[in-house]
Amino acid sequence: MTVSSSLQRVDNNLQDILCAIDTLINYLMRIKTDDYFKKFYEGIRADAKLLTDEPILPRIRKPPSRFDFLSSATHYENVYESYRHQYFDIINKILNFLDLRFNQSVFPVLCKVEKLLLLAANGMKDDDIICLNDINEFLIDDIHVERLQHELPMLSDNFSSINNEKNLGIKQITKISTICQLLNTYQIGKTMFHEYNKLLLLYLTIPITTATAERSFSAPNRIKTYLRCTMTQHRLNHVIIPHIHKEKLDQLDLNKICSDFISKNESRKAFFGHE
């Protein structure tokens, strides 16, 4: 649960996520031993002694003849062996899913792209320009490489001037979110470093985790209830966006929005009044 919550933070970068996954895998491998399970099992039994009865094996039931494949199901001699099998089976499934999700071929390339973005933000050396050759497959058909090479040496100077002017106190840029904040300070930065900004946008479009997608798919269950079954897709799209991004919606000035709405029409001015 702790790792899942950490992965869904907005300001995460790829290195943070992979580090968290490696930590989780190392922990699971460490507890995947008979000695650890024995301590875990005895601890659970001691805690549950006053709460419930002693665990027992379920009664063995003969499967119907049409389910011949169940006839070879494993039968355990005692409760300990039954729970031991479930314990190791769950850990193996978690490890398999983590390997399937986070050992994809795109992640090594994204790590190199992230490294290049951070190197450029902190001031690249002449030797670091070679890093572009490692991400050619990511740049092809989207980024003008020659222009990007001219933009990278100037980027750190631009960020330093913004840092000093706004008194941000940034000593070293270690997060992609910090780069986004600096680029969004002045619109001219996105124009001057057009190819770098495009590379950053391409990097951000790659879904590392699926938290945003999960929130999007679960939102209709709360919004389009059976009382709102006649809601059209067009209206549903507009309702879901503020529902997901509630923190931005709370920052809006409702009085200003009402005033703008009233001022658009003469009949509204007459009905609601207009200052």
**pLDDT at residue number 63:** 67
Question: What does the alpha-carbon distance between residue 170 and residue 177 come to, in Å, rounded to a whole number?
Answer: 13
Confidence tier at 209 by pLDDT (50, 70, 90):
low
Q: Where are the domains of the chain?
A: 2-102, 106-204, 214-272
Confidence tier at 72 by pLDDT (50, 70, 90):
low
Report which residue type is found at 204. Answer: L
More confident residue, 53 or 38: 38
CA dihedral 131, 136, 141, 142 (to 10 degrees): -30
Question: What does the alpha-carbon distance between residue 142 and residue 70 come to, in Å, rounded to a whole number?
Answer: 54
User: What is the SS3 assignment for 137?
Assistant: helix
pLDDT at 134 over 70: yes
Q: How far is CA 163 from CA 13, 159, 171, 182, in A?
A: 21, 6, 9, 8
pTM for this predicted structure: 0.58
Residue 139: partners with Cβ closer than 8 Å, 6 or more residues away: 132, 145, 148, 199
Question: What does the alpha-carbon distance between residue 119 and residue 174 come to, in Å, rounded to a whole number?
Answer: 9
Average pLDDT, the chain: 81
**CB distance 15 to 36 below 8 Å:** no
